[in-house]
Structure 1
Amino acid sequence: MKGLQWLQWAGLPLGIALLIGLVLHAGVGDLMQVIGQAGFALLWLVPFHALPLLLDAYAWHLLLGKRASFVFLWWVATVREAVSRLLPVAGIGGEIVGIRLARWRVADASGVSASVIVEVMVTMAVQYAFSALGLVLIVASTHQADVLRTVGVALLLSLPLPVIAVVLVRRGGVFHAIERWAGQLLGPSGSVLQGMDGRQLDADLDALMSRAGLLLRAFVWQLSGYLLGAVETWWALDLLGHPVSLAGALAIEGLTQAVRHAAFFVPAGVGVQDAAVVLLAQMFGVDREVGLSLALVKRMREILFGCTALLSWQVAEVGRRWGWFGDVTAARRQPTRPGHPHPRSEDGASLH
């Protein structure tokens, strides 16, 4: 983990340097002129981002068995995304925060953890499908087969990682083995074991992974969220005065997502995401200045939306600490699951 953090902090200055280089090359004045022509209408992109997240949160709502309210999980989803995209946490810190927040409503630690782990696996499948769609659309629209080969090879090279993850989870016993190994290394009082039941987590994961219909529904809802998210690119380019087709917007968004996730070691994808947007937009006839303006607009939307979500999280933490929202622990408010007549208490199981 420390090595990954070192890699992130090493990648951050490189990403910033790349972004600064792109801005200087395009010209600050030209960029401000392009963005200024669109005006304050660009701010509508900030609340619009809530719609794709609604669809994504509904997929999680299904995987969690609807044991927490949809609106609450949508809020948690905004915080998860903000943590993963704006903080140097290698893209996984958001999931850990999400588990912790979801347990404000659902006391079952292994059930919540299993739902998040399976949701991440569904997301990986959605990202591959979305990127593949982007590849097909960009080749059909621009006839640039070299892009298909380059990005296609990159996707194929990274494919073994999610496949191995799925195989290990389906095999079962993974988290129980981790629990035993950690117990031998740290002792039974090790903080990593606080509230952890590896055997139960494996069972909950197996139960979710065996429900093909549920996984398919979650996949469809998440993919719908990604497709709706591409409307942001289409709308932003229209506001910037260089509209593209919806197919073009889908291609730009799909391959931008692929590049960003491939460069997970660069915090917030700084520089890498922006360069990808510029390159892909140019393939659809958008000049460099407008392409970089699009990248900066997407970046500012991400910061404004994400900072709002992070602020709401901190307000909720303070409010819960001071009892503004009352006692909302799921152990008192929620019926138990079949097979769990005595739900585990949150005592000793907090993810603080």
Structure 2
Amino acid sequence: MNRLGLLLAVAGLAGALLLIGQQDLSEVGGLLATAGFGLVLAALAHVPSMALNGHAWRLLLPRAHRPGLGAMTANVWIRESVNGLLPVARIGGEIASYRLLRGEGVAVAPAAASLMVDMALSILSQLAFSLLGLALLAWAGAGIGWGAIGLGLLAGLALAGGFILAQRADILSRLARLLNGVAAGRFPGIAAHSARIDRMTRRIWRVRGAIAGCFLWQLAGWLAGSLEIWIALTALGYPVSIAEAVAIEAMIQALSSAAFLVPGALGLQEAGFLGLGLLLGLPAEAAAALAIARRLRDLIIFLPGLLAWVWMERRMVPQPS
């Protein structure tokens, strides 16, 4: 376990407990008890989002070697579970899902290339989703100015653009050749694999239908995640409109991505729920209960995902390169 990740997790947990502890705990507990099974339904509402993202990723793979939708949804489930609960800086989940894809018979180049393109497009689709959330907050009179929207747009485009340009510039094979040169030719296999991955990456980017389809299905996945917020707040007795649920989900997802070094965005996510609740006129206790409901989602969906990952790794048959 990464020491920095562990320290950030402990600090984040302390911050989360401090924020929740400042609320009226008896009222928060009453809201959660009243919601009951509705919060379980809210957690399970995350499954459609994972399925949509699994389908989006699946579009980037060669037709002849595409795993089924169920397998791709499981890969996304494992990826999100590892990234959401472990101190892996949101990279470990990608490695785990790549290994699972390889275990399903997908060759190295399409598995790695599709994953990298999927990651790049996820930055763009989340940027679009975040901008939609900011626009909805501004429309609701939450005091979000166009300056904040413009700054978010520029930051997101810079990040996504840099990632995409690096992929199209064969950065992986360039680094591999540099490493092989420094090591006096001891890693020719790495250089060859990297070159194949870069060629496959360029090939995927040229398939515009797959790129557009992946982006749109990812965006649909982000939007579907808003269903969790809508169901949870309805169960807690504070129903909101779909637009407000989208705004909350968009901002929480953006905050969680920005806090990628903190496992599960502990503390920061709770602060985000409380701040958004204040902007949208939700009582602090309702916002705190919503934050706890999101953590319940982690236990119901992501904790079993970690157990499934361990089980799947043990059953995996090594695949040839």
User: 310-319 vs 220-229, which deviates more?
Assistant: 310-319
- Per-residue deviation, residues 289-329 of structure 1 (Å, max 9, x unmatched): 00010011011112220111111222223334xxxxxx6x7
User: Is the Cα contact below 8 Å between 2:16 and 2:271 reproduced in 1?
Assistant: yes
Contact 1:60-1:115 at 8 Å conserved across structures? yes
Give the CA deviation at 1:158: 4.9
- Indicate if the aligned counterparts of 2:32 and 2:289 stay in contact, CA closer than 8 A: yes
Q: Which residue of 2 aligns with 1:234?
A: 230
What's the CA shift for 1:14? 2.9
Specify whether residues 288 and 60 from structure 1 end up closer, same or farther in structure 2 by C-alpha distance, changes over 3 A only. Answer: same
Q: Which residue of 2 aligns with 1:34?
A: 31
2:210 to 205, 210, 214: 214
When normalised by structure 1's length, the TM-score is 0.84
Q: Is the 8 A contact 1:110 1:196 kept in 2?
A: no
Identical aligned residues as a percent: 29
Structure 2 residue aligned with 1:46: 43
Deviations 1:116-139 (A, max 9, x none): 000001100011000000011000
Q: Which 10-residue stretch deviates more, 238-247 or 272-281?
A: 272-281
User: Counterpart of 1:167 in structure 2: which amino acid?
Assistant: L
CA drift at 1:195: 9.1
Q: 1:197 to 1:214 in 2, by over 3 A?
A: same
- The equivalent residue for 2:81 is 82
Which residue is 1:153 aligned to? 151
CA distance in 2, matches of 1:225, 1:158: 18
Residue identity matched to 2:215: F
Q: 1:194 to 1:169 in 2, by over 3 A?
A: closer
Alignment-mate amino acid for residue 89 of structure 1: V
| Structure-1 residue corresponding to 2:59 | 62
Whole-Å Cα distance in 1 between the matches of residues 189 and 26 of structure 2? Answer: 55
* Pairwise CA distance, 1:10: 4.1
- Equivalent residue letter for 1:168: A
SS in 2 for 1:63: coil
The normalised TM-score by structure 2 is 0.92
User: What is the identity, as a one-letter code, of the residue corresponding to 2:34?
Assistant: Q
From the two aligned structures, give the one with the greater helix fraction.
Answer: 2
Alignment CA distance shift 1:287-1:309 (3 Å): same
1:1-352 map, 5 Å: 5=2, 7-66=4-63, 67=65, 68-146=67-145, 149-150=147-148, 152-171=150-169, 173-186=170-183, 197-320=193-316, 346-347=319-320, 349=321
The question of whether the paired residues in 2 share the 8 Å contact of 1:182 and 1:193 is answered with: no
* Contact map agreement 1:55 1:225 (CA 8 A) in 2: yes
Aligned partners of 2:305, 2:184: CA distance in 1, in Å? 37
Q: Please, what is the CA RMSD of the aligned residues?
A: 2.2
5+ unaligned residues in a row in structure 2: which ranges? none
Cα pair distance change 1:271/1:96, threshold 3 Å: same
Distance (Å, rounded) in 2 between the aligned partners of 1:77 and 1:195: 28
Aligned partner of residue 116 in structure 2, secondary structure = helix
CA displacement, residues 220-274 of structure 1 (integer Å, 9 cap, x when unaligned): 1111111111011011000000011100000011111111111111111001111
1:342 corresponds in structure 2 to none
In structure 2, C-alpha distance between the alignment counterparts of 1:159 and 1:70, rounded to whole Å: 30
String of CA shifts for 1:143-163, please: whole Å, max 9, x gaps: 5135x5446535533542221
Q: What letter corresponds to residue 71 of structure 1 in structure 2?
A: G
- Give the partner amino acid of 1:92: I
SS of the residue 1:197 aligns to? helix
Closer/same/farther in 2, CA of residues 187 and 267 from structure 1, 3 Å limit? farther
| 2:140 match: secondary structure | helix
* 8 Å contact kept, 2:176–2:190: no
Task: Give distance in 2, aligned partners of 1:92 and 1:104.
Answer: 19
**Amino acid in structure 1 at the alignment position of 2:154:** L
Paired AA for residue 54 in structure 1 = A
For 1:170 and 1:224, locate their aligned partners in 2 and report how far apart those are by CA, in whole Å.
26
